Structure 1
Amino acid sequence: SLQDSLNQPENKEVLRYRTSSQTTQDLYLRIVALDRFDGTSWKSSERHVTDVPDQLPSPSGLGPSVQVSSIDTSISAADWYAQNWLPLPYPASKVEIDGRWRYEPEGRTLVGDRGQTTRGARYRVTSLLVEPTAEQLADAPAAPSRLRSEYTKVPDSLPSVVARTARGVTAGASNAYEKAVKLQDWFAVSGGFRYDTQVQSGSGSAAIVRFLKQREGFCVHFSFSMAAMARTLGIPARVAVGFTPGTAQADGTVSVGLKDAHAWPELYFEGVGWTRFEPTPSRGTQPDYTMEQTPSGTPTDEPTTEPSETSEPSAAPTASDSCSPEMKKLGTCGGAAAQQPDNGASGGGWSATKVTSWSSLAVLLVVVPLLPMLWRRRIRTRRLDGSGGRTEQDATDRILAAWRELTDSAWDFGVMPDDSLTSRRAVARMVRIAGLDDEPAQAAQRVATAVEQVLYAPHPRPAAGVADDVRLVVAGLRAKAGRRERLRALLAPRSA
């Protein structure tokens, strides 16, 4: 059902909401939690339901030290949208709605009673924005035994390669949080996975193994696999199904459409509770607490060097102050320079601390605007360099990497990607919108044909020269673009 929604030709509106939150990037609308994994599928357990309380109980596992703020959201469901579960920001603390609704405490969901659905529903939700730090997640103690035994359960039928892969991906991690971040990053960034809503969902115990081998799928594959792998590592996990935050409108509301349908894993950390992760590339947003540098494990209250003679705090920005989560992810922050005490020997001149601080600021002002361009060049080089093994699988991987580069390059020049299209239709759309001439247009069509060959042919014959064809298309895109658009594609590429 979720795959059908993602592949609809029209992004029909499901919900519209208005919220007091300053940002909606973390305002996923959650429908139901799938907490029972039998090796063949993820399902929602049958649990006892109660009347909806005026004030929902505090979220399980959430401690007082975690930063929390309250958000009010008014939601309107489309008249055609009939769903048994009520989409809610998580975790909701109060729900005001008319009709026959019941509350399921374990998953914190509202379910319709005696035929009640979301059709045309108008409701108001007070929810919590939970903002744990990486340190709080890393220091989380073990989950209660009842919760751990239920939410780390995997069936004997699960192929051993799933657990073996999970251990390999998380090698070197010293706690559950580091393991969770490594899993998320492997799926979303470094593992070579590709988002594709056209692939078969699959079923049975081999579905995850097939996905791990082929490395292409949509949110169902990514969330189900990460949750299963987390369980094999002893991390309590389940899968949430709902919608990503939607698209802001000119009138201040936010529209949520069919193509915002999504699934994501929730992992449990004692002191924080059920915590969202985002392993699906190009969908949703990765939470800030997963973008921070992994804690070193060294207690921060134990000095590693002899204290200096002065205990005055330095006004100079440290590496952590001036380094955004994205920069940390790219590894461009560098270490903090050792600060020497200012003894005032310069007689009012600039101290070493000031020189270092202003120099660092100047470097940041120069480097930060160039990061998208540098990152984009690095990605393009990696995708098109043609290096690697010479097996048939290696050739297939290179063609798919070249295809990603082609669609990202078109995006840089203003042709928004549409994942619902086949490669052939996507190229036809690209050629039409960009106005490509004969030679670049033909090169783009050759790339599409090569992609079709490796994806759908019974006996694929990977074509040669695909990287050169992509470069030819990029040159054509650049030639057709105006000066302003070329600068934008170079300095602020949309795909980066």
Structure 2
Amino acid sequence: MPAMNGGLLDSVGTGAGGGTGGGGTISAVNPLVSLRDNLNVDEDRQVLSVKTKMADVSDLYLRIVSLDEFDGTTWKPARRSITAVPDGTFPTPIGLGSDVKRTEVDTTITAAGWYAQDWLPMPYPPSGVTIRGNWRYEPLGMTLVGDHGQNTRGLTYQVKSLDVQPTAEQLASAGPPPAAIERDFTKLPDSLPPVVARTARQVTAGAANPYDQAVKLQDWFAVTGGFEYDTQVQVGSGSEGIARFLKDKQGFCVHFSFTMAAMARSLGIPARVAVGFAPGSPQADGSVSVGLRDAHAWPELYFEGVGWTRFEPTPNRGSIPPYTLPESPGSSVPDVTRPSQTSSAAPSPTPSTSESCTPEQRRLDGGCASESPQAVLPTGDDGPKWYAILAWVLAGLAVLALPLAPMLWRLRTRAVRLGAHGRGEADAVPHTLAVWQELTDTAWDFGIAPDESQTPRKAAARIVRLGSLDATAAASVHRVANAVEQVLYAPQPRPTAGLTDDVRRAAAGLSAGVGRGTRLRAVLVPRSTVRVLWAASAWWSGVRERALALRPTWRKASGQQG
């Protein structure tokens, strides 16, 4: 979105118009080209440095502008009236009811000295802004735009915003939208191919309400539809480009957001596209770094009583909104029962007797056929000693247990990593890292070898992609990765609740996506047990090095006979 020349959008003008009074209009065009350019830059330059009091920065999207008009060629901002920036608190967002939970969040944003953007990046919805310079306010999109050449270059500004937390029930029970919203935000051009609406109906078949339809669309794009994220594609963003995207199933955030918004409109759901930045990367000083490659676009759908609501159809980008996830997650990975001490592999504790078995027969090789090993123990000095029998029994048990050793080791390791201990603030780092290790090892057991060179965020995206995880499992993987980044980079690491359940949901998703053979191997011969060999090899190398260091070196003096 933000171009190297400073523009997220290629503006048709120089920003706001209408002088210094209270009125005026703004307009802008398609961000497709500049957004793609930014995602493909060789160097991910920092655009914004963000400090926020938001509890979970994985949901910290920074919105610049909304694209609410689709003319068949592209999505773009409609011409909107602008006013002076409101003093104090901004008006309540359109459609947001008083019964929806919300928390006001303070965020400070500093723009890079080279980043000259006409539109102000902010969390949505803003409830107040403190900024110097000439800025105007667009009420419908709740955006700020620079007036008379004003831009973001080197500015630091403060934003108060609302972290809106609707429930799935509130969204599912939303009433019909106001007539003006429905009229303006469900328009589609006549040039839109019928395949778009037809596909929307097919994907959302069985949905009980518009919210269910929206979630089905999101999950189809992000997880189940077979789409691939690719910033190199050139399919365009107009009506024909949307149809081609549905056919080829390759594109980047512009194509996913444009297409989902068009499909939502075809179902009668008011929709628009937001352009801005996906959540950035947490830093050691507690800030969040937002770079060029975080440039992003996502759809916003309107639900009466909640207002404009974010969805995330782009695979492996941003975060899936919590209100689109099931509140009762699926089953976790079934536990493997440990071998019972009373199983048939163990000797019977009560020897059977037989009246037809004489003492002489007991001394013969094999004893009596109907008796257990204990029944043939010698009573005199003849035959093997008791300790020899015990040695043979232990050897037999070892032979039986050896094939189960990898499984038993994984069970023990999993229990230790996911144990109930270590949940306080002092244990936030070791517990979170142990949970992350368990997640990556579980993925390895199912065939996804770890890549230690990747960040937790990229490693999580790789697991989701290669494991073809559903929305619930994918969200769990990303939550664990976000928790890892938080404890590694936050000034005061905090424990994150529910990580153990997240790992179990992720494991269930990985298990569901593989065949029976892979599932059995993951349980009986887990690939991650190779770590035992690595540890043993490292230990032995250390022993050898210490031994060599202690061994005296005898050198013969020159010309001396040995």
Flag whether TM exceeds 0.5 (same fold).
Answer: yes
Identify which of 472, 477, 483 aligns with 2:534.
483
For the structure 1 residues 482 and 190, does the alpha-carbon distance in structure 2 shift closer, same or farther, using more than 3 Å as the test?
farther
Give how far 1:60 is off: 0.3
Provide the residue aligned with 2:220 in structure 1.
186
Provide the residue aligned with 1:448 in structure 2.
none
Give how far 1:118 is off: 0.8
Provide the residue aligned with 2:85 in structure 1.
52
Deviation string, structure 1 residues 183-215 (Cα, Å, up to 9, x no partner) = 000000111111111111514321011111111
The one-letter code of the counterpart of 2:60 is L
The one-letter code of the counterpart of 1:194 is E
CA distance in 2, matches of 1:36, 1:141: 23
For the structure 1 residues 128 and 198, does the alpha-carbon distance in structure 2 shift closer, same or farther, using more than 3 Å as the test?
same
Q: Does 1:32 align with 2:70?
A: no
CA distance in 1, matches of 2:115, 2:527: 44
Provide the residue aligned with 2:154 in structure 1.
120
Provide the residue aligned with 2:385 in structure 1.
none
Give how far 1:21 is off: 1.2
Give yes or no for contact 1:199–1:217 (8 Å, CA) kept in 2: yes
Provide the residue aligned with 1:228 in structure 2.
262
Give the gaps of 5 or more residues in structure 1: 294-319, 321-327, 335-361, 381-407, 420-474, 487-496
The one-letter code of the counterpart of 1:158 is L
Deviation string, structure 1 residues 110-153 (Cα, Å, up to 9, x no partner) = 00010111111110000000000000000000111110111011
Q: Does 1:77 align with 2:128?
A: no
Give yes or no for contact 2:52–2:105 (8 Å, CA) kept in 1: yes
Provide the residue aligned with 2:49 in structure 1.
16
Q: Does 1:241 align with 2:275?
A: yes
The one-letter code of the counterpart of 1:105 is P
The one-letter code of the counterpart of 2:278 is T
3-state SS, counterpart of residue 126 of structure 1: strand
3-state SS, counterpart of residue 158 of structure 1: coil
CA distance in 1, matches of 2:121, 2:69: 20
Give yes or no for contact 2:441–2:528 (8 Å, CA) kept in 1: no
CA distance in 1, matches of 2:124, 2:116: 21
Identify which of 125, 145, 148 aligns with 1:111.
145
For the structure 1 residues 157 and 331, does the alpha-carbon distance in structure 2 shift closer, same or farther, using more than 3 Å as the test?
farther
The one-letter code of the counterpart of 2:55 is Q
CA distance in 1, matches of 2:83, 2:191: 35
Give how far 1:239 is off: 0.2
Provide the residue aligned with 1:158 in structure 2.
192
CA distance in 1, matches of 2:162, 2:217: 26
For the structure 1 residues 73 and 58, does the alpha-carbon distance in structure 2 shift closer, same or farther, using more than 3 Å as the test?
same
Give how far 1:245 is off: 1.7
Identify which of 416, 421, 427 aligns with 2:454.
416
For the structure 1 residues 39 and 257, does the alpha-carbon distance in structure 2 shift closer, same or farther, using more than 3 Å as the test?
same
Matched residues, number: 339
State TM-score, norm by structure 2.
0.56
CA distance in 2, matches of 1:480, 1:227: 47
The one-letter code of the counterpart of 1:208 is I
Give how far 1:416 is off: 2.8
3-state SS, counterpart of residue 280 of structure 1: coil
Question: Pairwise CA RMSD of aligned residues?
Answer: 3.1
Identify which of 276, 287, 294 aligns with 2:321.
287
Deviation string, structure 1 residues 323-378 (Cα, Å, up to 9, x no partner) = xxxxx2x55499xxxxxxxxxxxxxxxxxxxxxxxxxxx9xx79x97777667766
Q: Does 1:63 align with 2:97?
A: yes
Structure of greater Rg: 2
CA distance in 1, matches of 2:251, 2:188: 22
User: Within 5 A, what are the aligned runs for 1:77-476?
Assistant: 77-293=111-327, 320=328, 328=329, 332=332, 409=449, 412-416=450-454
3-state SS, counterpart of residue 128 of structure 1: strand
3-state SS, counterpart of residue 183 of structure 2: helix
The one-letter code of the counterpart of 2:136 is R
3-state SS, counterpart of residue 18 of structure 1: strand
Give how far 1:40 is off: 1.6
For the structure 1 residues 484 and 280, does the alpha-carbon distance in structure 2 shift closer, same or farther, using more than 3 Å as the test?
farther
The one-letter code of the counterpart of 2:53 is S
CA distance in 2, matches of 1:281, 1:33: 21
For the structure 1 residues 111 and 484, does the alpha-carbon distance in structure 2 shift closer, same or farther, using more than 3 Å as the test?
farther
Q: Does 1:4 align with 2:30?
A: no
State TM-score, norm by structure 1.
0.64
